[in-house]
Amino acid sequence: MPFPSFGGSSTSLRLENLAGNESASYERIAGGVTSPGPYDPNTHANMPCFLAGSMILTEKGYRAVETLCVEDRIGVFNGSTLEWHPIKALSVGFCRVSSNEFPDMAGYPVVIRKDALGDNQPFADLWVTGDHAIQLDGKIVMARSLVDGKKISFDMSIISYKYYHIDLHDHHVIDANGLPVESLVSKSACSVFRNMIVTHNEFFPYMGPARQMALCTEPKEIMGIRNRYGLDTSSTTHTEFAPLAFEVFTSDGQQLMKRSTNGRTTSFKVPSHIDTLKLVSRVARPYDMIGVHIEDRRKLGLLVGNITMYEASSSSSQTSHLENEYVHGWSSYETDMCRWTVGEAYLKLHRTEPMREAVIAIEVLDDCERLVELRREHSLH
């Protein structure tokens, strides 16, 4: 069967299965089509991409990114000096947003509004992916760390788009819509080229390993930059909420009856024969609850401390969630004293008298709605 071709002025091809559901899609560009399999921001982290219409400064003036060719020379900032560098490769792919994810994980592009970062900075609205870095005050900061919902925001009206990379071999600062932004660094792009059309410059000289600029991820520095550029921080809350309510279930779905709460510790009655429990709560992320200047985008539920099982003639600490690095429903292992759940966390019980009822006491040191310790750790005041 020949490779599907496009007819007339069509720029996209949609393949459906017998049920009428999309099974693959292709986008036509100069020189070919993109492969199916959209850009995934969770897999391809720190990938700087432009959307169509981004105006890139070249030796011949500003050019829309989608019109660039490998013969063009790109303006590169070397301190206060502007130099003209050849293009190593240009690439284009296609992203379809995963609308059930958080905006920064779904693939929504970030729009930096005209004058958001100063007069003519940028000189027109600029759309980039969330992991595309901007140079501000000599620091390289990702666009998603600057989002304030007003001047800079995730554009959730865009659910699919083409994205473009400019590879100059080394990691450079270039001009897009009058704003200093990063170019692609060669070594980070290999994993996404399989889903993209790439045009290489066959005359580009071999230059050895690519140099990469350091990315600023320090919360205090990012917040300082946000403050200096007047980016709204009202989404960052330091309000102390009441402890988050949570529920405990058996493995077959029976909800345990709560006996009492004493400070941080809540007790539940455990029926006989039960050897596995499930702790259920809401989840949230430090990135959302504390502020986008925090790079921590984990989904967190409860920070569970001591767990004690009280049986008829003895008591014992329950530590199965701390004994392995990978336990279903628990976040990454960090310490042998406590661990975060991720919404539905399973706990294997070690019981000495399984034929009799027992009581389990669960200590919750912190939770996703308060994030007391993380706020203290990242305090900027």
pLDDT of residue 122: 98
What is the fold, at CATH topology level, of the domain defined by 246-379?
Immunoglobulin-like (2.60.40)
The answer, as to whether pTM is greater than 0.75, is no
Could you tell me the pLDDT band of residue 305, with boundaries at 50, 70 and 90?
Answer: very high
3-state secondary structure of 290: coil
- Average pLDDT rounded to a whole number, residues 241-264: 88
In this prediction, residue 225 carries a pLDDT of 94
Instruction: For domain 50-194+210-228, give the CATH number.
Output: 2.170.16.10
The listed range with the strongest mean pLDDT (21-35, 122-136, 281-295) is 122-136
pLDDT at 34 over 70: no
> Residue 199: which pLDDT band, with cuts at 50, 70 and 90?
confident
Report the alpha-carbon angle 130-134-138, nearest 5. Answer: 150
In this prediction, residue 320 carries a pLDDT of 94
Closest by CA to 144, choosing from 130, 132, 134, is 130
For the chain, the structural domain boundaries read 50-194+210-228, 246-379
Average pLDDT, the chain: 83
pLDDT digits (tens, 9 = 90+) for 50-70: 999 999 999 999 999 999 999
Contacts 24+ apart (CB under 8 A), 227-230: 228/137, 229/116, 229/117, 229/118, 229/136, 229/146, 230/151
pLDDT band at 212 (very low <50, low <70, confident <90, very high): confident
DSSP annotation of 189: S
Residues with Cβ within 8 Å of residue 226, at least 6 apart in sequence? 146, 148, 233, 293
Tokens representing residue 103 in the block: 């905006």
Q: What percent of the chain has pLDDT over 70?
A: 77
